[in-house]
Structure 1
């Protein structure tokens, strides 16, 4: 199969750990150039050195707090000045918080929307004029299966992922005549440090441990579909089937899956 990633400059947000880190590595392994964004510049620079040592791969690291709009603007402007051409954007950065609506801390809700939704939209909007001038580009937004099925304690988190799905689907329709691929990635639970904040007592992780996706496998699947017309990547497959059934028979599925829905 032709390697579509080689020599492509691809921005990855939230690239210092978890899925974002593994995406960066898979891009580098395929001859692409990961442009890594995260708050932890130390972790990014360590990855840079490892990529150069183990893969002889070029990469770039930029420190940014994506919950700060002015920092987003400044970093994206700097990237566009430094790099003649950017070929892809993977909006991976995100955070979560599991709590009943009555117990939600409002600063946590606002922070989650700023990172999961507004930063993703802002970064995409800033990059879009550049992509429209390219021969080909790809925008990948990491959403969640929670954006398709809301469960107890995920009201705010699921709302952010609903927003990501809505934004991405509308964007795809708006630029369908352009050579810009737009993909949504909808994931079930992935074995990353995401749950340190979302589920600090470990209840959900313990209940779904056997279902957790491997971040390296997820990253490989995403990179495999870079610069292809893939509308959605849905993992695990059985969860996507469940979401389709849920939309057809919501009341029935809520009764049948009550135990699964209450695992948080």
Structure 2
């Protein structure tokens, strides 16, 4: 899939992997539409990349955003659902408000936005859903986050089968910890970020890997490789992986 002159929507584009993806796709010659809540940062990035942008809170009504995109552009070629957040805490310490908000932003919003954009997604187009290794390899203090990412993984797998006859491809991105602002909200103590400092992924390198996978229309991007291997092992021998990986699971 050639990305030059393709109209690509990136949510959660004001920072982290979303920003890195926007920069990598700009180098490919894509026509970018950047979505995020933080308008000042979004405006600055859009100006730098000569991209369109919309400051929008996807926790509300993604359908309104989709209607705006349709009225303005008529069609899009790629939708990248990247917006999301996590919070590391035991379930009995997690507020209902946080649980519901994470469910809306990480699961319902990308599903609703995808559904609303399907009628004007071009044939041969693509949907990229940013999930996580947490959706495959659950760990303590992230029960709700793991649940939301597992939901997006299965949503993507089923949707891929539905859209195959229409020529629309669905790809998931399943990263481990990334060196981004994600940890600012997810880990108030900052202990986890320090504990995994030696294994965190570079957002720039991951973004280039994702862009390459988009060109090749791959099914999944999984990083780092050893975490994906652990996730596969977990599917076959969960007790063994939990025992072997206990020290890693407890880093939060």
User: What TM-score results when the alignment is normalised by the length of structure 1?
Assistant: 0.93
Quote how far apart the aligned CAs of 1:84 are: 2.9
1:231 aligns with 2:219: yes
- Is structure 2 residue 76 aligned with structure 1 residue 86? yes
| Runs (5+) with no aligned partner, structure 1 | 52-57
CA drift of 1:242 comes to 0.7
Q: For 1:254 and 1:207, locate their aligned partners in 2 and report how far apart those are by CA, in whole Å.
A: 18
Cα deviations by residue, 1:18-63 (Å, 9 ceiling, x for unpaired): 1001111111111101100001121111112222xxxxxx410001
| Counterparts of 2:102 and 2:31, CA distance in 1 | 29
Return the match for 1:97 from 79, 87, 110: 87
Measure the CA separation in 2 of the matches of 1:42 and 1:112: 24
CA distance, structure 2, for counterparts of residue 33 and residue 150 of structure 1: 36
**In structure 1, distance between residues paired with 2:71 and 2:183:** 36
CA distance in 1, matches of 2:59, 2:75: 25
Q: Matched residues in 1 for 2:118 and 2:217: separation? A: 18
TM-score by length of 2: 0.97
Could you say which residue in structure 2 is the equivalent of 1:54? none
Question: Partner of 1:130 in structure 2?
Answer: 120
Do residues 208 (structure 1) and 206 (structure 2) align? no
Number of equivalences:
252
Runs (5+) with no aligned partner, structure 2: none
Counterpart selection for 1:170 from 142, 158, 173: 158
Residue number in structure 2 paired with 1:74: 64
Deviation at 1:227, TM superposition (A): 4.5
Rounded Cα–Cα distance in structure 1 between residues aligned with 2:123 and 2:100: 37
**In structure 1, which of residues 88, 106, 119 is the aligned counterpart of residue 96 of structure 2?**
106
Q: CA deviation at 1:127?
A: 0.8
CA contact 1:137–1:227 (8 Å) conserved in 2? no
> Is contact 2:34-2:46 (8 Å) kept?
no
Q: 2:55 aligns with which of 63, 67, 73?
A: 63
Residue 140 of structure 1, CA deviation: 0.3
